[in-house]
Amino acid sequence: MSIAAQARPFAGAGRRIRPRLRATETTLLVIVAATLVVGAMSLGATQRLREARQAGETLASIDLAPQDPVALAVLLGAVGLVHVAFVLAGRRTDQVLLPAVAMLGGIGLLLMQRLPQDLVQQSFFGLVLGLGQLQLVWLLIAISVIGTLALAVRSDAWLRTYKYTWAAAGIALLALTFVFGSETNGARLTLSIGPISGQPSELLKVILVVFLAGYLSENRSLLAEESTRLGPLRLPPIPYLAPMGAMWAIALGIVIVQRDLGAALLFFAVFLALLYVATGRMSYVMGGLILFLVGAFVLYNLFGHVQQRVDNWLDPWADPSGAGFQVVQALYALGRGGLLGVGLGAGLPTIGGRLPVPAVHTDYPLVALGEELGLVGLLAILGLYLVVVERGLRIAAAAHDDFRSILAAGLALVIGVQVFIIAAGNLKLIPLTGITLPLISYGGSSLLANAIVVGFLLALSDRGAGAPAPPRTGRPARLARLRRARA
Amino acid sequence: MDGFVLTLWLLRLLFLALLYAFLFAVVRVLLRDLRLASRGPAELGRLVVVASPRGEPVPGASFSLDAVTTIGRDVNNSIVVDDPFASAEHGVLTFRGRAWYVEDLASTNGTFVNGIPVDGVAEIGFGDELQVGEVRLRLDRGRS
Amino acid sequence: MTEPRTHAAGGRTSARPIGASIFRTGIALACAFTVLALGAGWWQVVEAQRLAVSPDNPAVIALARRTLRGPIVDRQDRWLARSGRDQNGEATREYRDPTISPVVGYASRQFGTSGIERAYNAQLLGLVGSDPLGGLADKFGVASRDPLGLRLALDLRLQRAAVDALGSDFGAVVMLDPATGEILVLASTPTFDASAVADPATAEDTFAVLRVDKTNPLLPRATLGRYVPGSVFKIVTAIAALGSRAVTPETVFAEQPGAEKQGLLVDGFRIRDGHHAVTGATPLDLVGATEASCNIWYALAGLRTGGVSLVTTASDLGFGAPIPFDLPTAISRVTSGNGSAPGGFEDDVELASAAFGQGQTFVTPLQMALVAATVANDGVLMKPHLVTALTGDGPGARTAEPEAWRRVLSEDDARAIQAAMQKAVEGALGRQFTAGARVAGVPTAGKSGTAELDDTQAPHSWFIGFAPVDDPRVAIAVLVERGGRGGERAAPLAGKLMTRYFELYGRP
């Protein structure tokens, strides 16, 4: 009997799956669990103390039962299950991403449990779910998406081959939103099909990265050329500049049609960053920045809502109870937090039925965390995001080929840039744009899209994922070629 | 009441401390990872000479393997096997993804994995024994 | 950026290794996150205290509902504002009478705070001054707070007398101790009932009326009202003129007596005077010109001093910027500053007019009181202050010490102007203008002013002064809107109030 390659058409398919311990991940997850349990205890005690004080009573005994232990247990259980699945599958995927994501998601859950539960309510089959419960449901879905993608995606062919199909799907999604989207707060963001509604721009960012990775990896060397000269600028052949122009136009279109400044900024920034990653040329970034400034100038002068955003940003105290209310209240919340924060759950409750900071659960969760965890906690959270980004870029650097490199870098940057845009908006460093804080903000679309990002990153980090097919049966001439290549 | 407040404050500080403990643990992992990366790519695998009747290669010697490693009697091979039963260009070992494959380059006397002749290309796992002519070599995990 | 590139055939540049650009992108993002961290630090550490005690902060508003604000008392511990609780246990605030409203302001649940209540909101609520550890407990909402009380330099009896004297006129009175800068009176009329604004039951209605009231009772005229000064500004010119050494107390202008009849021609503009009948052919010096309130002498002195010196001296006195004070103040200015002539004047006509207070000059009553006090205090301007002590058991309690702001003019120059101002009140000629300002048995100095507005309206009536001249204990500025000539309305009012001061505090 001979072992013939023909007898094994699919590499590794016949190999036995060997469980592989993931000690790092286990350790980190234990710390995550401990942190979240302590957080829930602190939150629960604070809530009880607040209620007691409002009722004019004093608490008799020290009661440190965690807030909503069931929800926390379910979340930690789900993360644990994914961890066990990873171990059993024996895959050599990244061991830091899952704990970091679990930490961020858990902090988000604690925050949603602390906010008024009737902020968002949905009923499923007569079961009414409040803010915290809905966030838990979405987190569970997100975690299962992460696990499924990390384990199931073993080949990237379906992504790289059909990049134009993906691009078309993305544009279709955009068009659908334009036609059928409903407006919230002056922005046409939400697409509802039947009972399901979501924000397509969240999904769009993943599609964008996939398409860009495909396009850039294919045309990398061409884009790095410098054959056209335009004054002091050395540019690649004009046809290859077209995508840049198209991307700029799409970003502008999103702002004009959807009035979604944040998504447009995110897309354009990620696009520029990936262009730089692929070509290593600063001139693209410079050109892009010039285009951005031109676009920003045009938008500022043409659109009232853009102008209003910028004016609110420059001087929110001009109208602190009207247009500047959200910004001013956010800064007050940050100021209340100070260095160590007021403690989980001890932030300001509603004032006269209004949230202290409007849209705190979607646009301003970082501010609420800044109030309750202080500067120290805020920096830790920014650190967690940096960890996610670092892992993503590390995966990109270690990837086998350009497509995977650019894909992983793009996925990491999408999270990093989104965090920067919303955090900088919250901190009044740039005008506020209504995008979510990845993995913490309330919202199904946001959690799902970022789960897909993390799932892909995990899949890409597997050193065995989508291994190329075994070499074809050799001809002696192949050897000469191999030798030449090695020389 | 005061005890409660104090406990609560300790809890809150503990929460922050644990957040940083997590970050600290992660940073340790990242630094280890960077150290490994700076050492260059880990060795993909090694071939240890188990038996070599002619003494070339020397029994007990081990070769660090590149992703593509050729074996044969010709001196241009990565691993030169001075054996009358080996062909000049006998076989090639390739690392693909995370598995090793051995390809027989139409050698006269064939290449064997654990005594089984290789027809074209075959996968070879760590611990498997490769036979080229009369020389037997074992594929081992690389040092990392 | 300057890595060597490998050039392949056909002018192509091969793409650089992707790892390097990934690394750089990561570094860029890390830098961006550092900026975020700095931004967070800015708001949460550097600006935190300011944000935390801002009266608009919802946490402060919520706290104000529960916390009993500290009491505010006058210099003899008469209560001005005090707190209580209503039947729901929520804090209430009561004010002694409307005369103090422009100073003390109000603390309303619906309409925020004003006046001293706003300026010292954090202290009155016990928000500042606590130690950091106490602050930690504070955030938790359990530690007992220590609202501080305020003692003002204000004398309630004098404040009432001032408002009484103003009567139905609109105007302002500022009295202070020139040696310490303590503000004894800061009256403004019309005034309003702060208790009605503070009471949640009546606040809506009261405030709705106040807000549309054309007489603007919510405007504290003494600190935020800006008026044409008229002749009282001549004291500023005198300070600048002597300080610049361009003019001495003995300086006379030969052309002055002749110009009295026709008016002084400056660049084609005729500056007129009203006293040529009495001063005759002898040229006037500083004392004479001040006593006669000679526009022409001051116009000439101003021209000789120059615009730059005039504006610089004025800014030494507090012009050109908000006065550092317990309450917000409007900016007094000598000129609009848009002109091309030195000092920002448009031309010599404006400078000459400003020198006797009729240019583009606008002043607050508080500013003019400081001018009088500076002269009275032999040239040293003391920092004006209302709050003399933060009282209570809290750690923030302290007493304010008198503090010199700066020396504006030399002692000799100050004495020269003192003499001139005394002559303006007590001299044979000055008496005809400002006789009413005299305090019987106390040497009094001062300068009246009549601020011409236009022909249809009565002028603003001004007086600034101090007494006793040899050892001034009180300085005063009085403004009566459209009160007529300075000597007719403001000067007698000032005399009455200074007399009252010496009745209360004893004669020298």
Q: Which residues of B touch C140 (CB under 8 A)?
A: 5, 8-9
Verify whether the Cβ–Cβ distance C142 to B5 is below 8 Å.
yes
B10–chain C Cβ distance below 8 A for any pair: no
Exposure class string for C423-446: b at 16+ Cβ within 10 A, else e: bbbbbeebbebbebbbbeebbbbb
Q: Give which of A335, A337, A359 is closest to A346, Cα–Cα.
A: A337
* B74 CA: distance to closest CA in chain C (Å): 33
Residue in chain B nearest C133 by alpha carbon: B9
* Contacting C residues, span 83-142, partner chain A, CB-CB under 8 Å: 135-136, 139-141
User: Facing residues of A228 across strands?
Assistant: A235
Q: Are C448 and C317 in contact (CB under 8 A)?
A: no
Torsion sign across C-alpha atoms C233, C234, C237, C239: negative
B63–chain A Cβ distance below 8 A for any pair: no
Claim: this prediction has a pTM higher than 0.80: no
C19–chain B Cβ distance below 8 A for any pair: no
Q: Are A456 and B86 in contact (CB under 8 A)?
A: no
Mean per-residue pLDDT of chain A: 80
Q: Give which of B80, B78, B73, B74 is closest to B57, Cα–Cα.
A: B80
Verify whether the Cβ–Cβ distance B13 to A340 is below 8 Å.
yes
Q: Are C428 and C275 in contact (CB under 8 A)?
A: no
The bridge status of strand B68-72 relative to strand B79-80 is: parallel
DSSP for residue C45: I
User: What is the C-alpha separation between C170 and C215, in angstroms, rounded?
Assistant: 8
User: What is the C-alpha separation between A81 and C193, in angstroms, rounded?
Assistant: 69
Verify whether the Cβ–Cβ distance A397 to C30 is below 8 Å.
no
Q: Are B87 and B73 in contact (CB under 8 A)?
A: yes
Token pair recorded at residue A193: 């099909």
Radius of gyration of chain C (CA): 29
**Residue C133: is it exposed, middle or buried by C-beta count within 10 angstroms (0-12/13-18/19+)?**
exposed
Give the three-state DSSP class for C111: coil
Give the three-state DSSP class for A88: helix
At A2 the pLDDT is 44
At C301 the pLDDT is 93
The bridge status of strand C269-271 relative to strand C264-266 is: antiparallel
Verify whether the Cβ–Cβ distance C18 to A346 is below 8 Å.
no
Q: Are C189 and C324 in contact (CB under 8 A)?
A: no
Give the three-state DSSP class for A50: helix
Of A342, A378, A423, the CB nearest to C139: A342
User: What is the C-alpha separation between B37 and C24, in angstroms, rounded?
Assistant: 17
User: Facing residues of C399 across strands?
Assistant: C389
DSSP for residue A325: H
Verify whether the Cβ–Cβ distance C137 to B5 is below 8 Å.
yes
* C143 CA: distance to closest CA in chain A (Å): 13
Verify whether the Cβ–Cβ distance A332 to C36 is below 8 Å.
no
**Could you tell me which residues come within 8 angstroms of residue C51 by beta carbon, excluding any fewer than 6 positions away?**
A331, A332, A334, A335, A336, C43, C57
User: What is the C-alpha separation between A135 and C153, in angstroms, rounded?
Assistant: 58
Of A227, A280, A374, the CB nearest to C15: A280
Q: What is the pLDDT of residues C164-209, one digit of tens each?
A: 999 999 999 999 999 999 999 999 999 999 999 998 888 889 988 9
B108–chain A Cβ distance below 8 A for any pair: no
Q: Which residues of C touch B9 (CB under 8 A)?
A: 136, 140
Q: Which residues of B touch A384 (CB under 8 A)?
A: 22-23
What size, in residues, is chain B?
144
Q: What is the pLDDT of residues B89-143, one digit of tens each?
A: 899 988 876 678 888 888 888 899 888 888 888 888 888 889 998 899 988 877 6
Alpha-carbon C132 to chain mean position? 34
pLDDT band at B40 (very low <50, low <70, confident <90, very high): low
The bridge status of strand C460-467 relative to strand A122-124 is: unpaired
A280–chain C Cβ distance below 8 A for any pair: yes
User: What is the C-alpha separation between C304 and B121, in angstroms, rounded?
Assistant: 108
Residue in chain C nearest A346 by alpha carbon: C140
Verify whether the Cβ–Cβ distance B9 to C136 is below 8 Å.
yes
B16–chain C Cβ distance below 8 A for any pair: no
The bridge status of strand A127-129 relative to strand A122-124 is: antiparallel
The bridge status of strand C445-451 relative to strand C404-407 is: unpaired
Verify whether the Cβ–Cβ distance B8 to C140 is below 8 Å.
yes
Q: Are C195 and C108 in contact (CB under 8 A)?
A: no
* A394 CA: distance to closest CA in chain B (Å): 9
* C383 CA: distance to closest CA in chain B (Å): 44
Verify whether the Cβ–Cβ distance A343 to B9 is below 8 Å.
yes
CB atoms within 10 A of CB C271: 20
Q: Are C330 and C223 in contact (CB under 8 A)?
A: yes
At C129 the pLDDT is 47
At C132 the pLDDT is 43
The bridge status of strand C72-73 relative to strand C149-152 is: parallel
Q: Give which of A165, A362, A173, A191 is closest to A250, Cα–Cα.
A: A173
B8–chain C Cβ distance below 8 A for any pair: yes
**Residue B89: is it exposed, middle or buried by C-beta count within 10 angstroms (0-12/13-18/19+)?**
buried
Residue in chain B nearest C142 by alpha carbon: B5
User: What is the C-alpha separation between C72 and A122, in angstroms, rounded?
Assistant: 53
* Contacting C residues, span 285-324, partner chain A, CB-CB under 8 Å: none
Verify whether the Cβ–Cβ distance C51 to A375 is below 8 Å.
no
> Strands of B129-132's sheet, edge to edge?
A3-4, B116-119, B111-113, B129-132, B135-140, B46-51, B62-64
Give the three-state DSSP class for C168: coil
User: What is the C-alpha separation between A218 and A232, in angstroms, rounded?
Assistant: 27
What is the predicted ipTM?
Answer: 0.87
Beta strands in chain B, from DSSP E residues, in sequence order:
46-51, 62-64, 68-72, 79-80, 91-96, 99-104, 111-113, 116-119, 121-124, 129-132, 135-140
Q: Which of A25, A31, A373 to mutate to test the interface with B (most CBs of B within 10 A)?
A: A31
Q: Which residues of A touch B94 (CB under 8 A)?
A: 471
Q: Are A290 and A282 in contact (CB under 8 A)?
A: no
User: What is the C-alpha separation between A177 and A171, in angstroms, rounded?
Assistant: 10
Verify whether the Cβ–Cβ distance A226 to C13 is below 8 Å.
yes
pLDDT band at B19 (very low <50, low <70, confident <90, very high): very high
CB atoms within 10 A of CB C336: 14
Q: Give which of C324, C165, C309, C325 is closest to C241, Cα–Cα.
A: C309
Q: Which residue is associated with the tokens 């965390």?
A: A369
Q: Are A12 and A464 in contact (CB under 8 A)?
A: yes
DSSP for residue A230: E
Q: Which chains touch C (3 or more CB pairs under 8 A)?
A: A, B
Q: Which residue is associated with the tokens 């209004």?
A: A354
Exposure class string for C99-119: b at 16+ Cβ within 10 A, else e: bbbbbbbbbbbebbbbbbbbb
Q: Which residues of C touch B23 (CB under 8 A)?
A: none
User: What is the C-alpha separation between C436 and C430, in angstroms, rounded?
Assistant: 11
C142–chain B Cβ distance below 8 A for any pair: yes
Could you tell me the end-to-end alpha-carbon distance of chain A, in angstroms, rounded to an integer? 37
Token pair recorded at residue A301: 């002068």
Ramachandran category for residue C418: left, alpha or beta (phi over 0 → left; psi -120 to 50 → alpha): alpha
Q: Which residues of B touch A41 (CB under 8 A)?
A: 11
Verify whether the Cβ–Cβ distance A277 to C18 is below 8 Å.
yes
pLDDT along chain C (508 residues), means of 10: 35 55 91 94 86 77 79 93 84 92 90 89 73 45 65 95 93 95 94 91 89 90 93 94 92 84 81 70 87 90 92 94 93 87 87 89 95 95 94 80 93 94 87 81 91 84 93 95 87 94 89
In order along its 487 residues, chain A shows pLDDT tens digits of: 444 443 333 344 445 677 888 899 999 999 999 999 999 999 988 888 877 777 767 666 767 788 889 999 999 999 999 999 999 988 888 899 999 999 999 999 999 988 888 777 777 777 778 888 889 999 999 999 999 999 888 777 788 778 778 878 887 877 777 777 666 555 556 666 655 567 777 888 888 888 888 888 877 777 766 655 666 666 666 666 676 677 677 767 776 677 777 888 888 899 889 988 888 888 778 888 888 888 888 888 887 777 888 888 888 887 777 778 888 888 888 888 888 888 888 776 655 556 667 778 888 899 999 988 999 999 999 999 999 999 999 899 887 778 888 999 999 999 999 999 999 999 999 888 878 899 999 888 889 999 999 999 999 887 644 444 455 554 455 555 555 555 5
